[in-house]
Structure 1
Amino acid sequence: MPKRTARPGRIACLFAAASLLAAPAVAASPAGDPAACVPIRLSNVGWTDAEAVTSVAATLFDALGYAPQTPLLPLVMTYMAMRDRRVDAFLSNWQPMGSTPIAPFLADGSVERLAVNLSGAHYTLAVPEFVWQAGLRDYRDIAKWGPRLGYMIFGLEAGNDGNALVLDMIRKDQFHLGRFRLVESSEQGMLSQVDRSIQSHRPIVFLAWEPHPMNLRFALHYLTGGDDVFGPDGKTTVNTVIRRGYRTDCPNAARLLAQIRFTIPDENGMMLAIQQDHTPPLQVARQWLRDHPDAWRAWLDGVTTRDGAPALAAVRAHLSLPPAN
């Protein structure tokens, strides 16, 4: 996910998270995983996609008896907490956009990539449908549209990874963008500008990514030709990462984490419910799990509850679903 700051009103949660991480593990009877694996601590960096997928994982682990905790932490603090064994897993490591923050922790072995939980994501520049149809389809087209775009590209908040790539293009006059300037804003501010531009039929180029509700809200197209900047077609993957030793320490929990897979429509739908309908993430996750049992059944292959009981029966009971046939 593109780097963003936590949303307003969440600062207090960061302080609460600090005390949460300091809490001792709850004792558990020996069976599927040892007592030290309870609670499982899943970092939530506050992005809407992270809230959705973390809540899905937390709901499953709750059903399996792992007493999940989901502390709200900034991205770098997440990796630091994993290094210090105060966080066990993180399900929102975007690649290649998230390569820089995680690099030192991968290098020293304190964090390891466990699995890809989402493929086919995007993060690159985009335009509305009417601009695409008018001919702005590739990075090489942007400069020709300069006057109509006001020589502006709309990005996110200062310091964002995507912003840095756009600024680097401008500095290097890559794609002849030297006359352009980046307009930095919050995510909501940028999307409001996109909405106004579409309503008034004014061309705009902006940072966009998928999964995100903007892909349902707007008819948009991702530009081609930016492979040297954002990677091939701006395509990204999202990884589940774990702290050093977690696979050995908690093999049952690690097996579930390794088997979790989402799709773009899955995440777009959950994020839309969280953002537009203001439904609490855990409620969204529970409803998604109830509505899509075929999507997650395979995630439980070879997995048990914490005390060794069948996982599928426990999850279905937790979700108030009838027993499986």
Structure 2
Amino acid sequence: MKKVVLTMMTALLVMFIVGCSQQSDEANGDEAGAEEKQTITLGVTPWTSTVPPTEIAQIILEDMGYNVEQTQADAGSTYIGLSRGDIDVFMDGWFPVHDVYIEKYSDTIEETAVSYPEADSGLVVPTYMEDVNSIEDLKGIEANLSNEIYGIEEGASITGEIDGLIESYELDVTQVNSSEGGMIAQAMRKMESEEPVVFYGWRPHTMFNKFDIKVLEDPKGIFETASVKVITNNEIQETAPDAYAFLSNWSISIDDVEEMIVKIEEEEIPAEEVAQEWIDNNQDKVDEMLGE
């Protein structure tokens, strides 16, 4: 009888040890799987043009098996984050305006792909300012503008470009900086009563769908047609090579981006839904970017 009891106890002990070993192996496997699911951080500036490509990239990267997070920051802080490795990807780099950041952080970041090559930007006025068609036409009418030009946030490199433009054209105006939404709100208040107003405009943006505005000619060539690019930190090429390959193949049309901005801003459709719709309607394009 003692032998039978001893045998049963031995068998139970073996089963217990095996069970614990299997649970440990499964736990270790789960931990390894969690470690393998890397997080990619996308930088997001407070510009409407940044949202659609960022949301599309996030959905695709998540489908590839990555955790994806977004970090909100102004342009300068976004590039600092890229250079430090706190941010992995920025989908809305504007060039040549952002050349200063590439030059400053050339050891740690790179221009990875072109989203779209021809994005117009410059000082804009409402079309009812019929006699103002060039930046030079602002000379002498600064008082009518309350000696102000409206621009976006101070952290944006375009802010310095506009200050340089004011000096170059010898305009008696001061740039008033605020968020993109704040700038548009200030301009709208002026346009509602058909007062003279000058502010910074660019495509893609709903302002060209919502308002009757025109881009002023720039005889000195201070504003250039922008090329919008994907920027990555140098580490992602080694840590997430398949994600880097996808981002290297990235491209999207400016018309598609502008159409999505209208849906998000005007029709109030959630950005994630708009991005998924674009993916569903452009699967061939997505497959091409994924190398499939």
Partner residue, 1:268: 258
* Cα distance between partner residues in 1 of 2:103 and 2:69: 25
- Native 8 Å contact 1:41 1:70 kept in 2: yes
* Shift in alpha-carbon separation, 1:140–1:53, aligned structure 2, 3 A: same
Report if aligned partners of 1:37, 1:250 keep a CA contact under 8 Å in 2.
no
The residue that corresponds to 1:175 in the other structure is 169
Task: Give the TM-score, by structure 2 length.
Answer: 0.77
Write the distance in 1 (CA, Å) between the matches of 2:53 and 2:138: 35
Q: Give the partner amino acid of 2:97.
A: M
Deviations 1:188-227 (CA, angstroms, capped at 9, x unpaired)? 2321232233332222221111111112111221111255
Is residue 179 of structure 2 the alignment partner of residue 186 of structure 1? yes
Distance 1:41 1:193 in 2: 33
The 1-side partners of 2:220 and 2:253 are apart by 23
Question: How far, CA to CA, are the matches of 1:166 and 1:83 in structure 2?
Answer: 26
- 2:217 maps to which residue? 224
Match in the other structure for 2:128: 130
**TM-score for both structures, normalised by structure 1:** 0.70
Higher strand share: 2
CA distance in 2, matches of 1:159, 1:45: 10
Encode CA deviations 1:151-200: one digit per residue, 9 max, x unaligned.
43222344543333333344x3x3341x2233334322321232233332
Superposition deviation, residue 74 in structure 1: 4.4
Task: Give the gaps of 5 or more residues in structure 2.
Answer: 1-30
**Partner residue of 2:271?**
281
* Correspondence for 2:202 among 209, 221, 237: 209
2:272 maps to a residue whose letter is L
Indicate conservation of the 8 Å contact 1:124/1:222, yes or no. Answer: yes
Distance 1:158 1:66 in 2: 33
Aligned-pair distance for 1:129?
A: 2.2
1:117 maps to which of 111, 115, 119: 115
Q: Report which stretch shifted further, 204-213 or 151-160.
A: 151-160
Q: Secondary structure at the match of 2:196?
A: coil
Q: Which stretch shifts more, 37-46 or 280-289?
A: 37-46
Q: Distance in 2 between matches of 1:85 and 1:229?
A: 32
1:218 maps to a residue whose letter is F
SS in 1 for 2:192: helix
Report the residue type matching 1:291 in the other structure.
N
CA distance in structure 1 between the partners assigned to 2:231 and 2:120 by the alignment: 20
Any conservation in 2 of the 1:162–1:207 contact (CA below 8 Å)? no
Describe the superposition over 1:208-254 as per-residue Cα deviations: whole angstroms up to 9, x where unpaired: 11111112111221111255422x3xx11111122214334433221
Q: Please say if residues 46 and 179 of structure 2, whose CA atoms lie closer than 8 Å, have aligned partners that are also in contact.
A: no
* Deviation for aligned residue 1:97: 2.0
Write the mapping of 1:51-130 to structure 2, written as runs, cut at 5 A: 51-106=51-106, 109-130=107-128
Question: Which string of whole-angstrom CA distances, capped at 9 and with x for unpartnered residues, describes residues 52-99 of structure 1?
Answer: 211101111222222323333444444444344443322122112223
Distance (Å, rounded) in 2 between the aligned partners of 1:193 and 1:46? 17
The CA deviation at 1:299 is 1.8
Count of aligned pairs between the two proteins: 262
Q: Matched residue of 1:68: which SS?
A: strand
Higher Rg of the two aligned structures: 2
Contact in 1 for aligned 2:74/2:156 (Cα 8 Å)? no
Whether the 8 Å contact between 1:105 and 1:111 is mirrored in structure 2 is: yes
CA distance in 2 between partners of 1:176 and 1:76 (Å): 27
CA distance in 1, matches of 2:182, 2:241: 43
Contact 2:37 2:65 in 1 (8 A): no
Q: How far, CA to CA, are the matches of 2:142 and 2:189 in structure 1?
A: 19
Distance in 1 between residues matched to 2:173 and 2:73, nearest whole Å: 35
Of residues 281-290 and 252-261 in structure 1, the stretch that sits farther from structure 2 once superposed is 281-290
**Equivalent pairs: percent with the same residue?**
25
Q: Which residue number in structure 2 is paired with residue 237 of structure 1?
A: 227
> Helix, strand or coil: the match of 2:120?
strand
1:265 is displaced (CA, Å) by 1.7
**Structure 1 position 138, deviation (Å):** 1.3
Q: Aligned partners of 2:77 and 2:174: how far apart in 1?
A: 31
8 Å Cα contact 1:121-1:264 kept in structure 2: yes
Q: CA RMSD in A?
A: 2.8
SS at match of 1:136: coil
Deviation readout 1:243-280 (Å, 9 max, x if unpaired): 21433443322121011112222111222233334433
Give the distance between the partners of 2:44 and 2:153, measured in 1 at CA: 20
Q: Give yes or no for contact 1:216–1:268 (8 Å, CA) kept in 2.
A: no
Task: Give the direction of change, closer, same or farther, for the CA distance of 1:28–1:84 in structure 2 (3 Å limit).
Answer: farther
1:196 corresponding residue in structure 2: 189
